[in-house]
């Protein structure tokens, strides 16, 4: 009960400062830092590369998240001063929702996605969330396998969730420990 109350409170009031740092992941050094509105142009470019020309998120979607009154953590990964990946998460009551994650194709399968997921999970823990949730395209076999490996369980299928391709989503949840 207390946990639930704290969580609801933190949802509206807590702004946490994420400390920019260098992180070694599979023998390469990356900079991990909070996303800012100045990154949006580069993020849209990265999205075009990751999603073969399509833009799952617009500039206004990024802006809405970065200015959200809900507790949130949006992180970028930089390699040699270029953004090569990012993750977004937003707390609501006792759930931390992962809104977006994308890694440049040249940098996939190197452990960066797993690292970012762990960073937002730790944020969820500090925000007193009890669950971490996300949606993934039914056809996204690689992402689903990764999420399962990291402890996410499939809860329900959401029909026609994605506008692009009119595809179903799988809603997955992990309990925060």
Chain residues that interact with ligand COA, rule: CB under 6 A = 26, 50, 101-103, 108-114, 136, 140, 142-143, 145-146, 149
Pick the closer one to ligand COA by CB: 14 or 79. 79
Pick the closer one to ligand COA by CB: 76 or 101. 101
Give the closest residue to 154 by CA, choosing from 139, 167, 135: 135
Pick the closer one to ligand COA by CB: 88 or 128. 88
Q: How far is the CB of 36 from ligand COA (least distance, A)?
A: 21
Q: How far is the CB of 103 from ligand COA (least distance, A)?
A: 4
User: Across the strands, what pairs with 156?
Assistant: 171
Residue 160 contacts residue 167 (beta carbons within 8 Å): yes
Cα-flanking dihedrals φ and ψ of residue 18, to 5°? -90, 125
Give the closest residue to 159 by CA, choosing from 171, 151, 150: 171
Q: Where are the beta strands (DSSP E) in 72-152?
A: 72-79, 82-92, 95-103, 131-137
Which residue, judged by CB position, is nearest to ligand COA in the bound state?
113
Pick the closer one to ligand COA by CB: 44 or 146. 146
Q: How far is the CB of 106 from ligand COA (least distance, A)?
A: 11
Report how far residue 115's alpha carbon sits from residue 95's, in angstroms, rounded to the nearest whole number: 20
Q: How far is the CB of 27 from ligand COA (least distance, A)?
A: 8
């Amino acid at each position: 009960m207390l946990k639930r109350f704290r969580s609801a409170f933190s949802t509206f009031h807590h702004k946490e400062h994420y400390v920019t740092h260098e992180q070694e992941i599979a023998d390469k050094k990356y900079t991990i830092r909070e996303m800012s509105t100045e990154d949006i142009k580069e993020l849209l470019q990265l999205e075009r590369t990751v999603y073969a020309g399509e833009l799952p998120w617009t500039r206004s979607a990024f802006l809405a998240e970065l200015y959200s009154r809900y507790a949130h953590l949006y992180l970028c990964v930089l390699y040699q001063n270029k953004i090569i990946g990012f993750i977004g998460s937003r707390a609501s009551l006792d759930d931390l929702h992962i809104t977006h994650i994308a890694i440049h194709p040249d940098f996939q399968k190197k452990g960066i996605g797993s690292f970012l997921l762990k960073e937002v999970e730790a944020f969820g823990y500090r925000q007193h969330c009890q669950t971490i949730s996300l949606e993934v395209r039914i056809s996204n076999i690689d992402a689903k396998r990764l999420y399962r490996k990291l402890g996410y369980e499939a809860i329900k299928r959401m029909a026609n969730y994605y506008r692009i391709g009119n595809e179903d989503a799988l809603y997955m949840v992990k309990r925060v420990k």
